[in-house]
Structure 1
Amino acid sequence: MKGDILPSISPANRPPHVLILHAYSPSNSGDGLLVDLAIDLVRRVSPEFTYQVVASDADGFDDPRFMQWRSPLKFPRALRRISMALTGVLGPTNEVRKVARDADLIVAVGGAYLRGGSTVESLKSWGAHHGQVKLAARHGDKSVYFPQSIGPYGRLYGARTRKLLGRVRRVYVRDDRTASDLAELSNVERVPDMAILEWARNVDATPIGALGRPVFIARNLGDPRRYYDLLAEVRDSDQFDWAVQATGSANNDAPLTAEYAKAEAPPLASVLGEKTPRIVVSTRLHGSLSSLIAGYPTIHLSYERKGYSAFADLGIPEYAISARDATLPQIAELMERIERDPQKYWESIRAQREQITAAEQRIERDVRAVISGER
């Protein structure tokens, strides 16, 4: 990623400086992609900007612009995670506070880190991210949240979160449930996921031709119902290669994949670098969206609301099916539909391009307005 640490020059002649909140880890390619997309969006508005990032695994990015919320020194990973878990109480370091105060713009990467469908999820969200929401709200006139899935939270935490989000200049959300839950806030706007916005910018590069052997991406699921039976059926069918999309400490798909794959599964990024596209059947949403950006048709085994909303935004809702209830014949039928008429698949998505591009332009206008000093 390009950019420089903020130089020691006066505010009158320095380029805009941006603080990016809520980054996670580069070991999950989906999370790393969202950080890259946040940086790229700001760069399109202000090519000469500089930035710093608050990340859960700052050291993993191997970049001095990435900062820990409470760990300015290099602690072992376990202590870093404990530090992040205490942010709701401890607040940021003085360095993070100063960067936020001096920044011309504060943005939040897109994602689902503010989720709260269960008590455990809410506690994780509060510990690792609530302090960052408070910081953004404190500087709300210059803060923009890129497309999120938020909540649903319990009554008290939900009320507190909505109050803070209401102080932010704009909160973009990427699914219908979040938009409904936050309907009382006038600053909330429903748009597609950041990766979908990126796809729309590269739609003309989408290839149509012969497809290689399909690829399957698995992940662990709570309340799996028949999901693990499906993985066994996929393995026994010998119709798929396997790939790994996430290897982060809390989101490591490699051990599960190794249980079912008959050979070592490569990273998804390696597969997407091949010349011949394949159908990617992915249980991770950003495995599917990364595939679309690379020109690979995809089927998403959705386990959360964000997946269904994303594929509705893309104009192909029928290609997002329940991960917990999907069957191999159901997946095979969808793959056959793509192979029989790939042009129809891509044309359905292309038909959404104008609407998706308009949403991205609205986000860019907000970013431009903040950088130009509109409050």
Structure 2
Amino acid sequence: MATQTHVVLLHAYSSRNSGDGLLVDLSVTLLNEALGEGTRVSIVAADPGSFPQYPDVYPAPVLADSGMTRLGAGAAGLMFPIDSNGRMRALLQLLKSADLVVGVGGGYLRARNCIEALKLEAGHLLQMRAARLADKPTVYLPQSIGPTMPAEPLRSHLSGMLSGFSSVFVRDNRSLAFLERNANTLRAPDLAVLDFERRSEQIMTRARKARPAVSHVAFVLRRAPGWSAQQRGRYESATRTLIHQLGETCRISFAVQSRGRGNDDLAYYRSIGIDGEPTTLKDLLVKDTPDVVVSVRLHGVLESVLNGVPSYHLSYERKGFGAYADLGLHDWVANAADFDAGKVAATIMAPDAIRAFWANASSGFERIRSGRDSILAALRTARNA
């Protein structure tokens, strides 16, 4: 009888943000596909209580704390990364019991300013340091990586730590360029894009049932993260214009995808004067399926696509452009900080828009399949090392 493989999955956040919860679900699915359905997956999460469906979840050092406790733990972690943090010691023990360490896919290894750089160092880099100390085979699933702020010591430190792992997959070309000196870096699609290919037959079956004309558009909006006042102003003005233009001929719905700490879509809707009780995107896609979704959140976009609903992505960072390039949907993505509402509306309302969307998406299947095979092979190779 084969021995059960034990994997520790690092860097999980919270399923209260459905995009982050989806990344954990997709990571676990990928691990079971690569290593067998009996694989034991221990999850290390910032919000462990939000993953009740998994039996083996542990609080992340620093990130699982809150308020002043979190601040104090972060400071202690920076000065005494091992000895002063009980959760860090527990994490090391867990990692040493594992056959393989895996970093969940996502965009947590970045920083746009000094505050985010401190959070990165005190939180996620602490987990990376533990993985290095445990000296176990380690694979990081598709990431967006690299501080955008001019902080060369942090950039060099992050690149150097990642160079010691078995494989590091990146989901966009900027991240690939950042790690170009690391021989273990490989380009692959976002986890949700990989799942799109795996479920392509099911998705296309749903897509073929869609109405050819667009009469119901759902929006998934969020507060613009880390932008200047001018960028926020352009974003809010353009989204209002887009809602008005589409609302002249379509029914408009609003959906929330995140209610997590400091990341509350409903609060943002209230701040821009949208009343009522928007449902979750997951429920809307099932109970009142729109013809098109316009989403600022990438995983709102991809959740829509996975459910057979075309989605226009107003992207606020590199991961969105990378994902839509992998899907072959270059005409359905724009910069959220500087987009032309008229052009977006024209793309969505074009006479053959829905058919063209799915024709372009299906063209990327082979490229996506190749990326999935590369990740599965890397996981198996690392497990057997």
Normalization by structure 2: what TM-score?
A: 0.87
Deviation, 1:276, is: 3.9
Q: Which AA in structure 2 matches 1:214? A: V
Change (3 A) 1:76 1:355: closer
Aligned to 2:222: 219
| 3-state SS in 1 of match to 2:42 | strand
The one-letter amino acid of 1:69's match is: A
Q: Secondary structure at the match of 1:21?
A: strand
* 1:281-307 superposed Cα distances (whole Å, 9 cap, x missing partner): 001111111111111100000111111
For residues 4-25 of structure 1, give each alpha carbon's deviation from its aligned partner in whole angstroms, at most 9, with x where no partner exists.
xxxxxxxx96411110000001
The answer to whether residue 43 in structure 2 is matched with residue 53 in structure 1 is: yes
Alignment of 1:10-89 (within 5 A): 14-45=3-34, 46-62=36-52, 63-70=54-61, 77-78=66-67, 81-82=70-71, 85-86=74-75, 87-89=77-79
Summarize the alignment of residues 278-297 of structure 1 with structure 2, pairs less than 5 Å apart: 278-297=291-310
Q: In the alignment, is residue 345 of structure 1 matched against residue 357 of structure 2?
A: yes
What code does the residue aligned with 2:190 have? D
Q: How many residues align?
A: 359
1:231 aligns with 2:239: yes
Q: Would the alpha carbon gap of residues 212 and 17 (structure 1) be closer, same or farther in structure 2, given more than 3 Å must change?
A: farther
Question: For residue 37 of structure 1, what is the amino acid of its counterpart?
Answer: L
8 Å CA contact retained: 2:138, 2:166:
yes
Question: Which secondary structure does the structure 1 equivalent of 2:216 belong to?
Answer: coil
Contact 2:145–2:175 (Cα < 8 Å) also in 1 = yes
Identity of aligned residues (%): 30
- Gaps of at least 5 residues in structure 2 are none
Q: In the TM superposition, what is the alpha-carbon distance from 1:327 to its structure 2 partner? A: 3.3
Q: CA deviation at 1:275?
A: 6.7
Q: Does 1:185 align with 2:182?
A: yes
Please identify, of 245-254 and 185-194, the stretch whose mean Cα deviation from structure 2 is larger.
245-254
Residues 284, 80 of structure 1: alpha-carbon distance in 2 compared, 3 angstrom cutoff = farther
Summarize the Cα distance change of 1:246–1:276 in structure 2 as closer, same or farther, 3 Å threshold. closer
Partner deviation per Cα, 1:299-350 (whole Å, 9 max, x = no partner): 000111111111111111121101112233222111113x524222111111
Question: Is 1:194 aligned with 2:206?
Answer: no
Are the aligned partners of 1:232 and 1:260 in contact in 2 as well (CA < 8 Å)?
A: no
Q: Is the 8 A contact 2:8 2:43 kept in 1?
A: yes
Cα drift, residue 114 of structure 1: 0.6
**Closer, same or farther: CA 83–101 of 1 in aligned 2, 3 Å:** farther
From 152, 159, 162, the equivalent of 2:156 is: 159
Tell me which moved more, 270-279 or 15-24. Answer: 270-279
CA distance in 1, matches of 2:364, 2:73: 39
2:81 counterpart of 1:117: no
Kept in 2: contact 1:56–1:81 (CA 8 A): no
Query: What is the CA deviation profile of residues 64-110 of structure 1, one whole-angstrom value per residue up to 9, with x for unaligned ones?
Result: 522112379xx874366436644444344332111101101111111
Q: Give 1:137 deviation, angstroms.
A: 2.6
Partner of 2:143: 148
What is the identity, as a one-letter code, of the residue corresponding to 1:290?
A: E
Question: How far did 1:141 drift?
Answer: 5.0
From the superposition, tell whether residues 292 and 149 of structure 1 become closer, same or farther in structure 2 (CA, over 3 Å): same
Pick from 299, 309, 320 the counterpart of residue 307 of structure 1: 320
1:369 aligned to which of 354, 374, 381: 381
Secondary structure of 1:326 counterpart: coil
The separation in 1 between residues aligned to 2:72 and 2:24, in whole angstroms, is 21
Give the structure 2 partner of residue 6 of structure 1: none
